[in-house]
Amino acid sequence: MAAPAAVEGVAVTALRSVFLRVRQAAERAGTQTERVRVVAVSKTKPVSLIRQVYDAGHRCFGENYVQEIVEKAPQLPEDIEWHFIGHLQSNKAKTLLGGVPNLAFFHGVDNEKIANHLDRAVSGLGRNPLKIFVQVNTSGEASKSGIDPSDCVHLAEYVKSHCPNLLFSGLMTIGMRDYTSTPENFKTLSNCRLEVCKALGMAEDECELSMGMSGDFEQAIEMGSTNVRIGSTIFGPREYAKKPQN
Ligand SMILES: *Cc1c(COP(=O)(O)O)cnc(C)c1O
């Protein structure tokens, strides 16, 4: 009897299939696949599973609970590019930055206060600037974090002029949960980019877009996204036994 073939972990298989779909969506959009960053969102998932995906060559991971990322990051290799993707209470900025030296991106700056706290935390640590995305609430849902689209220029300008330790890198949004208005939400974010680029004199490719999750990442790429945040399609459904608060 032949020895069974090595079984690749399901998350790694799923990641490969995500990359295939990303490539196809990028082709349809007429963009290069390399311009789309796949953030593997590992919240609620064990370090061992992240490690499998890391060992398969992936380096870009996202988390959105402070307590969880500061616990997991030190158990994983330093060359991971960590993304924090969501709302953060300003008094947790220091904990986050201090606990995750290799935090590369923060998707979710939605007011001046959090920008100031992040800026100070980066400065206090003397680390390299933190790349940030300004979060825009494009669906109008009260439950969602993010600034009103009409305020995006102001907040982007604020970060650029008042936060020397932050690097304004673009705009982020979360589409509506039932996906009914996804194209509208993504269009709104793309319009925000036009305004920001015009007001701040930036080229369009200097202002990235972070939009698209498991259910709508292909559509997001077709509409110009350069950062897709994909969790359950890679790691399987999440288990919320205990949901820490940010
Ligand atoms: C959890 C989360 C994701 C990933 O969601 P999936 O639908 O599982 O891909 C993306 N973005 C943010 C902000 C999240 O909190």
**Statement: residue 240 has pLDDT above 90:** no
- Please state the atom number of ligand 1 nearest to the C-alpha of residue 213: 9
Region 94-107: what's the mean pLDDT? 98
CB 165 within 8 A of CB 130: yes
**Statement: residue 118 has pLDDT above 70:** yes
**Statement: residue 2 has pLDDT above 60:** no
**Cα-to-centroid distance, 108 and ligand 1 (Å):** 13
**Cα-to-centroid distance, 233 and ligand 1 (Å):** 10
pLDDT of residue 125: 97
- Domains of the chain by start residue, with CATH: 5-235 (3.20.20.10)
Region 83-95: what's the mean pLDDT? 96
**Statement: residue 50 has pLDDT above 80:** yes
For ligand 1, pick from 44, 85, 173 the residue to mutate: most ligand atoms within 8 Å of CB: 85
- Please state the atom number of ligand 1 nearest to the C-alpha of residue 172: 13
For atom 11 of ligand 1, which residue has the closest CA? 229
**Statement: residue 56 has pLDDT above 70:** yes
> What end-to-end distance do the CA atoms of the chain give, in Å?
53
- Per-residue pLDDT band for 132 (boundaries 50, 70, 90) equals very high
**Statement: residue 6 has pLDDT above 90:** no
Alpha carbon 21 to its chain centroid, in Å, reads 18
**Statement: residue 245 has pLDDT above 70:** no
Q: Is the CB of 196 under 6 A from ligand 1?
A: no
pLDDT tens-digit readout, 11-23: 999 999 999 999 9
Report the candidate in 55, 30, 65, 34 with the shortest Cα–Cα distance to residue 231. 65
For ligand 1, pick from 22, 44, 64, 141 the residue to mutate: most ligand atoms within 8 Å of CB: 64
Q: Is the CB of 231 under 6 A from ligand 1?
A: yes
How far apart CA 225 and CA 76 sit, in angstroms, is: 28
Q: What is the pTM of this model?
A: 0.94
Q: Is the CB of 229 under 6 A from ligand 1?
A: yes
**Cα-to-centroid distance, 1 and ligand 1 (Å):** 44
Q: What angle, rounded to 10 degrees, do the helices at 47-55 and 10-29 form?
A: 60
pLDDT of residue 244: 57
pLDDT of residue 141: 86
Count the residues in the chain. Answer: 246
In the chain, how long is the greatest CA-to-CA distance?
68
**φ, ψ at 65 (rounded to 5°):** -125, 125
pLDDT of residue 8: 74
**Statement: residue 241 has pLDDT above 70:** no
Q: Is the CB of 38 under 6 A from ligand 1?
A: no
Exposed/middle/buried for 245, CB within 10 Å: 0-12, 13-18, 19+? exposed
Q: Is the CB of 64 under 6 A from ligand 1?
A: yes
Question: What element of type H or E holds 117?
Answer: helix 112-125
